[in-house]
Amino acid sequence: TVQDLVVPVGVTLDRFIMHSQSAFPYATGELSQLLRDIALAGKIINREINRAGLIDVAGGNGTENVQGEDQQKLDIVANVRFIRALKNGGEVCAILSEEEEDIIHTGNDHGKYVVAMDPLDGSSNIDVNVSIGSIFSIYRRVTPINGPASMEDFLQGGRKQVAAGYILYGSSTMLVYSTGDGVNGFTFDQSLGEFILSHKNIGTPAEGKIYSVNEGHYHSYPPFVQQYVAQCKSRNFSARYIGSLVGDFHRNMLKGGIYLYPSTKKDPKGKLRLLYECYPLAFIAEKSGGKASDGFGSILDIVPQSFHQRSPLYIGSAELVDDVVKG
């Protein structure tokens, strides 16, 4: 498997992908190229974010996305950069983005893959310099090659993802992804312009002492969540919630912990989006030994009905997710 490869920490993403490729001799390299295209988009967005205060890309754009959410200028910049990188890369025939109502056809009808993405999650944090992230989910298309992609390419269900991951624009910028065989983290070296393998074969600790939830919504949480939060306090857990899903998820994956976004009165189906937030992070969670649930079953087993549907999300250390779900 990929994890058995003698790939030392410190290799570039390109070399890691090449080594991984050698573990799958029948793979034809399109997925490898697609991962490189995503890394390129991440490098470009990283540069824009780092300059946000200096060039006019910070703040609101005065427009709303399909979700009715105020678009930040960088939301739009990130969306455009990802679409352009994936279109130019040639491996992706269509994209589903949080920022667009319908799927975007790239013109690469020969492409074997489709990507569902949240180009920049937590973007309201940009102006206050808090970590933000891009989240992506990759499927092989099920519609005929050379024809147009369509809805069923994106509604295959979480367990049909061939790869998923995120880019975290934090104190350092990291790309974390899995192609199904372990989770690996790459830290961006600004001086080289390269992602370097820094976190090989990440394992989510089964237990943890951190819980991430917005306690401001406490009174609108279901009783089983209120009980769980009380249990965290009685167990002297630390509360860590930065209002940015990718940042909270990444910390919990490395240190052990649980992130909760329950259903609320305002969002009875939860706030987070199934296809490009919950599914990809659930894929990463499970491939690193963690768990992800909607309160009833695994996120990855939810049958998708529509592009932008929401779901409650309880994700992180396996034993903590079990605790909250069993109530």
Residues of this chain that interact with ligand P6P (CB under 6 A) are 121-122, 214, 243-245, 271
Is 123 annotated among the ligand-binding residues? yes
Nearer to ligand P6P, 94 or 253 (CB): 253
Question: Does the annotation flag 260 for ligand binding?
Answer: yes
Q: Is 261 annotated as a binding residue?
A: yes
By C-beta, is 121 or 153 nearer to ligand P6P?
Answer: 121
Q: Judged by CB, which is closer to ligand P6P: 278, or 300?
A: 278
CB of 116 to ligand P6P, least distance (A): 15
Residue 277 annotated as lining a ligand binding site: yes
Minimal distance in Å, beta carbon 233 to ligand P6P?
18
Q: Are residues 27 and 21 in contact, defined by beta-carbon separation less than 8 angstroms?
A: yes
| CB of 92 vs ligand P6P, minimal distance in Å | 24
- Residue whose CB is less far from ligand P6P, 287 or 310: 310
- The annotation status of 118 as a binding-site residue, yes or no, is yes
Residue 214 vs 309, nearer CB to ligand P6P: 214
As measured in angstroms, the least distance from the Cβ of 247 to ligand P6P is 8
Shortest gap between Cβ of 82 and ligand P6P (angstroms)?
A: 17
User: Which residues are within 8 A (CB) of 16 and not within 5 positions of it... i.e. 6 or more apart?
Assistant: 7, 184, 186, 197
122 is in an annotated binding site: yes
In angstroms, what is the minimal distance from the CB of 41 to ligand P6P? 19
By beta-carbon proximity to ligand P6P, the closer residue of 106 and 244 is 244
53 marked as part of a ligand binding site: no
Indicate the annotated binding residues for substrate: 121-124, 214, 241, 259-261, 271
Indicate the annotated binding residues for Mg(2+): 98, 118, 120-121, 277
Indicate the annotated binding residues: 98, 118, 120-124, 214, 241, 259-261, 271, 277
